[in-house]
Structures are given as structure tokens and as C-alpha cells.
């Protein structure tokens, strides 16, 4: 199986020993506490699950600035985005232990214990520099930029011991999986070549066929559909609805034992190219050998070019930085001429009228009115789940 990033074995920071974990939960009640941001809580979950291998905790300022500027830590470990605990204030010191409280669960339980390496101030100018490097903009209208710049200026670095997986393990018990668990299931299935597909949206016909194209092109044994379960921008479809629609599609339209439907506990950054590289790193750590990156991967609005998330691998990612291979996909749509879904770059003799193309706005309007998109665009079983969701919103309004 493919090696994890920067290590011979995964480095999950979740305290797996139940007795030790219970002792730490009791110990945490005696510690200073800090309510962390949703982004920091998601970082803790990802550290716990091994997705951030080889990191052992939250980055210090030297690593933060180095990752922003060079996509590597100060000691040379390739990493595309900062993994940090930023707070508005920090009355702590190096060597202290800190109980990190979960902002996304009722009662704000302790999510992790951090042993503090350093507490450092990050100026507004430095935060702007980091945001510009990671997101390509400091525009507060960008949801990822706004979330990052709203956390605070005090950087608390150090190792963490993760005590639970927040709401992901309870609300998405059938879907949430750590990198450790996915690697184990890949091994149990006997898969050697594995394609991973990232999604924060329901999967329509083009996404389905893209996974099949990638599996065929890479001679893969299986595909891991890996959906983001964390916080999204306003207007995106909730994770439980996406989960149900994807499972329905897989059940009806993929061969048995060819797809794993899984999810991970992370808040979307909408960082375009940098996040595409992070997504590739996640998938290498979970055991995939190939990762699909399509048009406008991890983008939002007009902040990135349609294929910036592919070109970054040529322009800014060192050749030996990651072992996972990238499957570069074009916009995919149903061809009326060929009566099948194709990548548009593979149909140079087609014009726009030769494809079934619907804007996201048009699709949402149709679904909200109880009208299923054409079967060339969306499988009827998927469309029904989405129609029920949009109509429930209208009924509640």
C-alpha cells in the first residue's frame, strides 16, 4: 500500500486506549480551557484521525510562515496549508497544558489536550500575508479568508492528544472514517490501486461517470468517495442529504465492492489550488494511489482559474513531495451526439448545444419546484432525494 506522507506509518493523535483517554478527560477538568474556532476543532479531528501525518500538533510561527511562503515547514516537511490554533487571547505559557473546548457540540466538551510549545503573536499584516499566500486573496467576502482572519492573533503551538472526534463520529456514524480506518478497509478489500474522489456536493451523473473514467484509466481496484462533513458556506447542501444521495447512486449504478462511501471531519477552506494539494495529501494518508482533481476544485466564486488546482502541481509542488498520482479531469457532461457522458476536452467537434449543461442555479430552481433534472444530468433516485430536501426548505420558510 502507498506510504503515508512523510512517514513510514500514520501518526494518528487520537488517544485510542480507553483507560488512558478517560484519565485524560478527568485530567482536562483541572486544566486551563480555551474555546477554539470551528476550523481549529476540525484541525484537531484531522490530527486525531491521522490525515495530517506526519504532524504531531499545531504549528508554531516559524512553521506557519514557512508553510505560507514555501509550502514546507521550517525543517523541510512539505505541507500546503497551515495547521494552527489561533486564539483572540492567550494567558498561557510554554509547558502549560490546555484543554481545547469544542465549539460545535452542545456543552462544549473537551476535544483535545494541547501541551504548549509556544505562544506567539501574529500581526494583522502577517495574517494578511498568510491569507494572500494560502487563499490568493485577503478579500473578506471569501468565506475561507473570513474564517481564517476572524480567529485571533495569538498562535498557540504544540502537540495534541485528541480525546474524541467531535460531532462527526456521532452524527455521521455510518460515514465518518479516520485515515486509519480507511487504510484498514482498503487492505481488507484487497485493493492495491485506489482512486479517491473529493466532494462537498451531491454527485450528479457527470461525477458518477468521472469516477468510472478514472477507475478505468488507472486500472483501479476501487474508488473511495470521500465527502467533506464539516462546515460549508451558506447555501451548500447539508452533509446528511449529500450522504443519502451518494449512497443511493452507488447502490444502483456501481458494481458491488467497487466503491467505499466515506467522509471526513474538516471545514471547507475554499482555498482552490492550495486546498487541492491538501486534499491530495489527505488521500495519500488514507491509502489512495490516485486522486481526481477536476475543474475549479475547492474553489469559490471567481477567485481561481478553472484549472489552477491542477497547474499548481506542475508549478509549485516539488516532484517528490507526494507519492499519490493526480488524475486530471476536464468539465464532464452528457453528450447528445454520443449518448454518453464525456470529458468536454475529448469532444472537440461539440458545441455548447451538443451537451446537457445546467447551471447550479437552474438545477436548484428545478429541484425546489419539484422538477427532476433530465436523467442525462442527474439519476432519478438522486434527484428525488434532492427535491425532497429543497421542498422541505420551502415548506419551512
Residues of the chain with pLDDT under 70: 394-397
Residues of the chain by 3-state class (helix, strand, coil), percent to 5? 35, 20, 45
Q: At what angle do helices 273-285 and 308-315 cross, to 10 degrees?
A: 70
Contact present, 180 and 220 (Cβ < 8 Å): no
Cell readout for 367 is 429541484
153 catalytic? Reply is no
DSSP code of residue 129: H
Confidence (pLDDT) at 393? 79
Domains belonging to the chain, first-starting first, are 18-166 (3.10.400.10), 174-264+270-396 (3.40.50.620)
Name residue, grid cell 468565506: 143
Cell 476550523 appears where? Answer: 39
Instruction: Say what the pLDDT of residue 394 is.
Output: 67
- Asked whether the beta carbons of 112 and 100 are under 8 A apart, the reply is yes
How many beta carbons lie within 10 A of that of residue 19, not counting itself?
A: 8
End-to-end CA distance of the chain: 49
- pLDDT of 12 reads 98
Longest dimension (CA), the chain: 69
pTM to 2 decimal places: 0.95
Choose the catalytic residue: 21, 189, 193, 200. Answer: 200
* Alpha carbons 282 and 293: distance in angstroms, whole number: 13
Cell of 238: 447539508
Dihedral sign from CA coordinates of 272, 278, 281, 285: negative
Instruction: Say what the pLDDT of residue 397 is.
Output: 56
pLDDT tens-place string over residues 377-391: 999 999 999 999 988
In the residue annotation, 70 being an active-site residue is answered as no
Residues 276, 183 contacting (CB under 8 angstroms): no
Query: Among residues 201, 295, 328, 364, which one is catalytic?
Result: 201
Amino acid at each position: 500500500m502507498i506510504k503515508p506522507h512523510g512517514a513510514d506509518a500514520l501518526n494518528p493523535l487520537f488517544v485510542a486506549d480507553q483507560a488512558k483517554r478517560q484519565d485524560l478527560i478527568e485530567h482536562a477538568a483541572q486544566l486551563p480551557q480555551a474555546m477554539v474556532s470551528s476550523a481549529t476543532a476540525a484541525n484537531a479531528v484531522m490530527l486525531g484521525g491521522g490525515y495530517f501525518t506526519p504532524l504531531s500538533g499545531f504549528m508554531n510561527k516559524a512553521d506557519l510562515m514557512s508553510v505560507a511562503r514555501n509550502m514546507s515547514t521550517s525543517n523541510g516537511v512539505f505541507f500546503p496549508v497551515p495547521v494552527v490554533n489561533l486564539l483572540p487571547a492567550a494567558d498561557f505559557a510554554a509547558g502549560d497544558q490546555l484543554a481545547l473546548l469544542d465549539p460545535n457540540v452542545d456543552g462544549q466538551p473537551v476535544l483535545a489536550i494541547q501541551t504548549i510549545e509556544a505562544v506567539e503573536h501574529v500581526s494583522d499584516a502577517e495574517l494578511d500575508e498568510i491569507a494572500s499566500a494560502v487563499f490568493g486573496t485577503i478579500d473578506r467576502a471569501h468565506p475561507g479568508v473570513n474564517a481564517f482572519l476572524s480567529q485571533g492573533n495569538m498562535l498557540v503551538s504544540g502537540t495534541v492528544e485528541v480525546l474524541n472526534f467531535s460531532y462527526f463520529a456521532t452524527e455521521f456514524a455510518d460515514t465518518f472514517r479516520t485515515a486509519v480506518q480507511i487504510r484498514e478497509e482498503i487492505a481488507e478489500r484487497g485493493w492495491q490501486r485506489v482512486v479517491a474522489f473529493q466532494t462537498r456536493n451531491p454527485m450528479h451523473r457527470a461525477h458518477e461517470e468521472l469516477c468510472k473514467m478514472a477507475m478505468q484509466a488507472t486500472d483501479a481496484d476501487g474508488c473511495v468517495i470521500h465527502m467533506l462533513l464539516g462546515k460549508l458556506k451558506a447555501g451548500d447542501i447539508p452533509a446528511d442529504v449529500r450522504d443519502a444521495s451518494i449512497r443511493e447512486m452507488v447502490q444502483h449504478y456501481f458494481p458491488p465492492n467497487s466503491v467505499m462511501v466515506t467522509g471526513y471531519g474538516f471545514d471547507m477552506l475554499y482555498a482552490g489550488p492550495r486546498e487541492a494539494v491538501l486534499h491530495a495529501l489527505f488521500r495519500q494518508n488514507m491509502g489512495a494511489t490516485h486522486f481526481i482533481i477536476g475543474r475549479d476544485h475547492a474553489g469559490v466564486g471567481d477567485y481561481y482559474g478553472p484549472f489552477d488546482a491542477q497547474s499548481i502541481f506542475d508549478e509549485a509542488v516539488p516532484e517528490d513531495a507526494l507519492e499519490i498520482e493526480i488524475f486530471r479531469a476536464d468539465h464532464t457532461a452528457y453528450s447528445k451526439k454520443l449518448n454518453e457522458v464525456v470529458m468536454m476536452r475529448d469532444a472537440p467537434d461539440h458545441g455548447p448545444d451538443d451537451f446537457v449543461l445546467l447551471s447550479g442555479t437552474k438545477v436548484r430552481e428545478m429541484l425546489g419546484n419539484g422538477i427532476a433534472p433530465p436523467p442525462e444530468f442527474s439519476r432519478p433516485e438522486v434527484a428525488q432525494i434532492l427535491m425532497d430536501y429543497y421542498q422541505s426548505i420551502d415548506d419551512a420558510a
